[in-house]
């Protein structure tokens, strides 16, 4: 199932590659999950703005910023391979997350604590599903738009 979820995000990996990358592909989202939980507990618009900046970098760059941390340092402790660049659907999902972070920051900024906590909790849930099961809800929705009426469209290998 996680293989299909990774295909939905746009990855084209063999079963062996998925096994080797199981932790690396979860590192960036897991780190963001922890940071988002901390920002939510703190009720900090500044922390959410910082997370939005990280999300924007991930959305418009070839990799999530924490993928660089994984590839450059952390993976060596696990003897793991580097993670590949982010496919388009994953980058588009980071655009959704960036906007969501900005909304939460804005809600905290205007004193709408309850709305901010609800929006932040929903964001945490979405981040948890991608971290635990590689199920990225924005990528899933985008894949449905790729081929309406045909179900989830797998990513295509670049030619």
* Residue 25 vs residue 6, higher pLDDT: 25
Number of domains composing the chain: 1
CA distance 80 to 62: 20
Tokens of residue 41, six digits? 């507990």
Asked, for residue 20, whether it belongs to a domain, the answer is yes
Asked whether 24 and 83 are in contact (CB, 8 A), the reply is: yes
Asked, for residue 22, whether it belongs to a domain, the answer is yes
Range of the domain at 87: 2-146
Asked, for residue 154, whether it belongs to a domain, the answer is no
Task: Give pTM, 2 decimals.
Answer: 0.83
Tens digits of per-residue pLDDT, 12-37? 788 888 888 889 889 999 999 999 99
Asked, for residue 158, whether it belongs to a domain, the answer is no
């Amino acid at each position: 199932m996680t293989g299909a979820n990774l295909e939905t995000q746009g990855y084209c990996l063999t079963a062996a590659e998925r096994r080797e990358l199981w932790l690396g592909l979860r590192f960036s989202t897991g780190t963001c999950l922890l940071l988002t939980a901390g920002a939510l507990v703190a009720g900090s618009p500044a922390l959410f703005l910082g997370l939005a900046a990280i999300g924007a970098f991930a959305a418009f760059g070839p990799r999530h910023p924490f993928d660089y941390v994984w590839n450059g340092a952390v993976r060596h402790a696990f003897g793991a391979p580097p993670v590949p660049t982010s496919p388009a659907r994953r980058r588009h999902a980071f655009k959704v997350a960036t906007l969501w972070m900005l909304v939460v920051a804005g809600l905290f900024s205007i004193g709408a604590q309850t709305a901010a906590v609800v929006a932040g909790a929903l964001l945490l849930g979405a981040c948890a599903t991608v971290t635990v099961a590689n199920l990225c809800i924005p990528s899933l929705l985008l894949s449905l738009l790729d081929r309406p009426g045909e179900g989830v469209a797998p990513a295509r290998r670049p030619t």
